[in-house]
Chains A and B, each alone.
Chain A
């Protein structure tokens, strides 16, 4: 999502000083406290945990990173080429190993291991682990997707986005890892942040709860690798990766803030950051190494960086994960008629055609779109500037002069949205469900064909937006108490946008999405203070959409 650009400029001059101190505290990422907690884990060659992802009926990716020598730190380019053994079993004790193999890794791929394990049974829990010499990795658990023609009675996902390590502890990941009722985790982007210490942290003062490594904005390939490594050492993130397969897309911060096809707000050639496209290629390379995703449909490195893809869960649901950064035109500098220019795109032509295929009759019942930025129109024309400005600081949602668009979301590329919604209407596509991150707030929206007359008229579907894991929201950026400024803003937004049924600008946390043939329900869970590692987690609210209706309604309890 959009982060305040002035902020970053202001702190750049102090970043190196803070970084030096922090590098001493935690040379390999993570905090000193975390390091003290798990010395055994840090001595293990598998200190970055294990992960799995992109489940198919007969295949799933498994991942780890090996540290074969002390010098083989992430991004170092040091260390030998080695063989890592892997095993997949139907039981946690590995008495019934069904697949095993050996994977060659080395410094060219930062000693990461990514295996596309095939020959598995649909809708089945598996356990996996890696071995190197006498060392054995932590055991991960994963699950394959149901068979393509299966009719599961439900599928259930954890839903998260926007995890800024500097802004706090990943208690949202902890909350999901404590559950035992999910089938997978959807991550909708901003899995990590590019900023250096002091540039984007906790609250209005940007305090770093856990400073980033390396201690500067990530730009080089080594930077991106080290930052991935730091995040992968977070114990809550490790626990959640080990518990479920993840289905992930990126937003902008995996490369740089407000990225677009050939640039980003936070890419500055005048600061020596060089070519944006080369920087993005480095970021994507590190992402491909460190994330349990199939890029260009494979686990191989270097064969392409197409991330938009589909994952089907029987006849019940199909998830289409979007990439809304790599192909989009630059954001317009200010809201105006250009946001509706049909020559501008947020998806790119190829991906838009692909998305329309995803939204076709005859595919799975629920067409779930993993959508990095909001698609619901948001019109704030009536908001006074005293309220608009702080909202813009955190969300970039409100054009100050009253034109109703956030130019970084689909509102800034309205012709693409028009084409998607018209396609839905022309083909009477039902159960289109957009699940969205990015905006550090919780939303439940209907998707009107004409927002100005709604609720007269029909809805193209529904959008559920999860809050951030840690990244600042409205109260954080304004420094106002919870449910004060934000409550006023939420009320005005909803009054001006009758299709928005729920909005929470105040809380951080995670969501749980449960899908059955009769309805899809999203539960929002919120955490306490991000600065407290053991902060409590509580259920906040739940909304559901009944099949075929394109409407949302509040429900009284979570699944």
Chain B
């Protein structure tokens, strides 16, 4: 496990009008000494972007990057289609039953409370970042969301502390995130940089016109596209484009619901004599994770009751036992995983708990854009592949690029190059 943020060297750098704070592992050499390899890999996560939005006309630079490199029209987020687990899958190449991170929000049985998975210790496995660090590469994280900064902790050689963050969304706007990415490139030039751009997701969550015009969302798309191009221009300016692969993908898609399409399972579950007082719910927007907290001997019966009650609610698409082999979510995800239909959302513990129209986590938010650009010769030009690409394929792809090998037990994903 990598170290914690505390104790690392903190650096304050000026970028434009903004002040940027980077944390760097103590003892890390400077820029000139850092590069063990001339290869560079950049993973840009356009948080919450739908694949069709790249063809909307609002993202010409992203579309050009996609069309000029290797694209995967069939690309998927992995369950649960949430931000934290899919970022962890990208940087580990492993499914949640091996990472320990199945969702944004889980019920922590030890704490007895529902919480975000934003702690460095939540990741229970080795990461690509750690693997590269051990091989003498330097790595960097530029993550716009505070919980992502939290969960990846001090793993990367260089970390940007997202700031300024907006209230409620707890994310830094893309303009600042790209400022930080460019500054990290110029100052530290890590071999791998992992960037999360949160505007499209955050504007999508809040877009009250999401079911119709998606006005706020469209503004974010256009702006994020410009920010990505700034970063690509910086790669050219720094002279690293020819050595680089640039992986662009989303962590999940986005779906919108109106206030009359809200599901709350708390009441129906509490009304059942077996389940009353013995179930906890972790609401993940498009997915509810249900946890049996009663006697172990009654768990099987409780799972059956939870599934039956959930399936009976309007707007519920499916309720699976968490142990369904294809889910591979691990015990942190509880006992039952409930997905909503498109155009619906969960709101637990009550109907007012989740007022935001844009949500994800359910199968309607599984498709993502996924493409690889960059000037390195490993990147095919103007190629599209019908092979399925998944978020768990990022780590094996980057590892293969650097020759960094695989973790014990192998990757769950596969290299796309």
Tell me the A residues contacting B by CB distance below 8 Å. 151, 314-316, 361-362, 364-365, 422, 425-428, 430-431, 453, 456-457, 516-518, 546-550
Contact = CB atoms under 8 A, between A and B. Distances in A.
Given A426-B342, A548-B73, 20 more contacts: A151-B386, A151-B387, A315-B74, A361-B76, A362-B388, A365-B74, A425-B342, A425-B343, A426-B341, A426-B363, A426-B364, A428-B342, A428-B363, A428-B366, A456-B212, A456-B213, A457-B212, A517-B384, A548-B52, A549-B55
A330 B411 CA distance: 54
A549 B386 contact: no
B386 A550 contact: no
Contacts of B212: 453, 456-457
B309 interface: no
B384 A518 contact: yes
A321 to B, nearest CB: 21
Nearest to A547: B73
A517 B212 CA distance: 29
A315 B386 contact: yes
Given A426-B317, A428-B253, A431-B73, A316 B386 contact: yes
Nearest to B318: A426
Contact of A427 (B55, B343, B364, B388): B364
A425 B211 CA distance: 13
Nearest to B369: A548
Nearest to B344: A426
Contacts of A426: 317, 341-342, 362-364
A523 to B, nearest CB: 20
Interface in B39-81: 51-52, 55, 71, 73-74, 76
For the residues of B in contact with A, the DSSP-based class is: loop
A514 to B, nearest CB: 14
Contacts of B341: 422, 426
Interface in B353-407: 362-367, 384-388
A518 B388 CA distance: 14
A430 B50 CA distance: 11
Contacts of A316: 386
Given A428-B253, A457-B212, A516-B384, A546 B55 contact: yes
Q: Which 10 A-B residue pairings sit nearest by Cβ, starting from the closest?
A: A517-B384, A547-B73, A315-B386, A365-B386, A425-B342, A548-B51, A316-B386, A428-B367, A518-B384, A427-B363
Nearest to B55: A549
Nearest to A425: B342
A445 to B, nearest CB: 17
A547 B67 CA distance: 12
A361 B366 contact: yes
Contact of B365 (A314, A428, A457, A550): A428
User: What range describes how many residues of B lie at the interface?
Assistant: 20 to 34
A430 B363 contact: no
A394 B171 CA distance: 59
B386 A430 contact: no
Nearest to A515: B386
A503 to B, nearest CB: 24
A546 B211 CA distance: 22
Contacts of A457: 211-212
B342 A430 contact: no
A362 B363 CA distance: 13
Contacts of B55: 546, 548-549
For the residues of A in contact with B, the DSSP-based class is: loop
Nearest to B343: A425
A362 to B, nearest CB: 7
A550 B50 CA distance: 13
Contacts of A548: 51-52, 55, 73, 367
A430 B51 contact: yes
A364 B386 contact: yes
Contact of A550 (B52, B71, B211, B384): B52
A109 to B, nearest CB: 40
B359 to A, nearest CB: 13
Which of A151, A431, A547 has the most C-beta atoms of chain B within 10 angstroms of its own C-beta?
A547
Contact of A314 (B73, B367, B386): B386
Contacts of B213: 456
Interface in B194-237: 211-213
B370 to A, nearest CB: 11
A546 B54 CA distance: 11
A319 B367 CA distance: 21
A517 B364 contact: no
Contacts of A361: 74, 76, 363, 366-367
28 contacts: A315-B388, A364-B386, A365-B73, A365-B74, A422-B341, A425-B342, A425-B343, A425-B364, A426-B317, A426-B364, A427-B363, A427-B364, A428-B366, A456-B212, A456-B213, A457-B212, A516-B384, A517-B71, A517-B73, A517-B384, A517-B385, A518-B71, A546-B55, A547-B384, A548-B73, A548-B367, A549-B52, A549-B55
Nearest to B340: A426
Nearest to B76: A361
Nearest to A314: B386
A548 B76 CA distance: 12
Contacts of B73: 365, 430-431, 517-518, 547-548
B191 to A, nearest CB: 30
Contacts of A453: 212
A363 to B, nearest CB: 9
Contacts of A365: 73-74, 386
Which of B211, B342, B364, B386 has the most C-beta atoms of chain A within 10 angstroms of its own C-beta?
B386
A518 B363 CA distance: 23
A364 B212 CA distance: 30
Contacts of A315: 74, 386-388
A427 B253 CA distance: 11
Interface string B108-132: 0000000000000000000000000
Contacts of B386: 151, 314-316, 364-365, 517
Contacts of A517: 71, 73, 384-386
Nearest to B77: A428
Nearest to B253: A428
B385 A151 contact: yes
A462 to B, nearest CB: 13
Interface in B250-281: 253
A453 B212 CA distance: 9
A361 to B, nearest CB: 7
Contacts of B343: 425
Given A422-B341, A456-B212, A430 B384 contact: no
B345 to A, nearest CB: 13
Nearest to A459: B52
B344 to A, nearest CB: 9
Nearest to B384: A517
Interface string B324-355: 00000000000000000111000000000000
Contacts of B367: 361, 428, 430, 548
Which of A422, A428, A548, A550 has the most C-beta atoms of chain B within 10 angstroms of its own C-beta?
A428
Nearest to B342: A425
Contacts of A364: 386
Nearest to A453: B212
A517 B371 CA distance: 13
A426 B366 CA distance: 10
Nearest to B214: A456
Contacts of A518: 71, 73, 384
A430 B55 CA distance: 14
A426 B52 CA distance: 16
A422 B342 contact: yes
A362 B364 CA distance: 14
A316 B384 CA distance: 11
Nearest to B362: A426
A430 B74 contact: yes
A456 B218 CA distance: 14
A164 to B, nearest CB: 37
